[in-house]
């Protein structure tokens, strides 16, 4: 199983974004996680298209874009043009999830589906083979720096079982409150990719923090 790390830019120093991107390029990070929040689906507004467009020419790693917005279908082409390689939408925001996933794939991106902490993994059983990645939220979406929800381990184990039973190749990503204290247990439970904001960008040595998560 791959062990991927996707640092979340939400916790970065926005006054010195160029330096932060150079750090990511030098690091063992596999992707860069970009949190797009609309103030409607989640009670916070983050950053948007101009930030992604500014980063894209500098960044040497794939853009892993996490859409926390209502009606994400309207923005699939926009995020492809802004440089997204992986585009994740929320289950709770997509009444026609199968269509949305096809829409993302038709635009040449990997399609991810995210579940809020209260949304059961079992709801994905009829669509798991179509999904490139499932993002399990391990905090309530909207903010960085929150406490990891322990029930996430049960969800990882259940999802891993579903993926194996159906012979799918879906990647499991965990997002929220991930740090050096829970990274190994998450990989052991069956996670493939860890997102970490505060644990990377607020650390004294972000390069070492990324290395630590990668080799947990």
Point out which residues bind ligand 5SP (CB under 6 A).
8, 10-11, 33, 35, 66, 68, 139, 141-146, 175-178, 195-199
DSSP letter (8 states) at residue 67:
E
Pair 176, 138: CB distance under 8 Å: yes
d(CA 173, CA 138): 10
User: Considering beta carbons, is residue 66 or 160 the nearer one to Co ion?
Assistant: 66
d(CA 91, CA 114): 6
Residue (of 65, 120, 61) closest to 88 by Cα position: 65
Residue 129: CB minimum distance to ligand 5SP, A: 25
d(CA 14, CA 31): 18
**Annotation says 132 is catalytic:** no
Angle at 177 between CA 175 and CA 180, to 5 degrees: 105
Positions in 62-101 near Co ion (CB under 5 A):
66
Catalytic pick among 35, 64, 179, 192: 35
35 sits near Co ion (criterion: CB under 5 A): yes
Residue 177 is assigned to a ligand binding site: yes
User: Considering beta carbons, is residue 177 or 190 the nearer one to ligand 5SP?
Assistant: 177
Positions in 147-206 near Co ion (CB under 5 A):
175
Residue 8 is assigned to a ligand binding site: yes
38 sits near Co ion (criterion: CB under 5 A): no
d(CA 83, CA 72): 16
**Annotation says 175 is catalytic:** yes
Of all residues in the shown chain, the one whose CB is closest to ligand 5SP is 197
d(CA 211, CA 216): 8
d(CA 17, CA 121): 35
User: Considering beta carbons, is residue 120 or 145 the nearer one to ligand 5SP?
Assistant: 145
Catalytic pick among 30, 38, 132, 175: 175
Q: Which of the residues are catalytic?
A: 35, 175
Q: Which residues bind Co ion (CB under 5 A)?
A: 35, 66, 175
């Amino acid at each position: 199983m791959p062990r991927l790390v996707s640092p979340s830019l939400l916790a970065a120093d926005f006054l010195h974004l160029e330096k932060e991107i150079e750090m990511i390029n030098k690091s063992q990070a596999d992707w860069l996680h970009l949190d797009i929040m609309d103030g409607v689906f989640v009670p916070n507004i983050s950053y948007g298209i101009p930030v992604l467009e500014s980063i894209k020419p500098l960044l040497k790693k794939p853009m892993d874009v996490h859409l926390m917005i209502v009606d994400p279908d309207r923005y699939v082409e926009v995020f492809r043009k802004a440089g997204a390689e992986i585009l994740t939408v929320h289950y709770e925001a997509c009444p026609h999830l199968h269509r949305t996933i096809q829409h993302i794939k038709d635009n040449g991106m990997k399609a991810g589906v995210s579940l809020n902490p209260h949304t059961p993994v079992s709801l994905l059983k009829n669509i798991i083979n179509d999904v490139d990645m499932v993002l399990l939220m391990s905090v309530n979406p909207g903010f960085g720096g929150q406490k990891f929800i322990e029930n996430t381990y049960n969800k990882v184990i259940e999802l891993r079982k579903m993926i194996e039973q159906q012979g799918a190749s879906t990647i499991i990503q965990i997002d929220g409150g991930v740090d050096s204290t829970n990274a190994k247990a998450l990989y052991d439970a069956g996670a493939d990719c860890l997102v970490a904001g505060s644990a990377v960008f607020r650390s004294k040595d972000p390069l070492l923090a990324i290395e630590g998560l990668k080799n947990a």
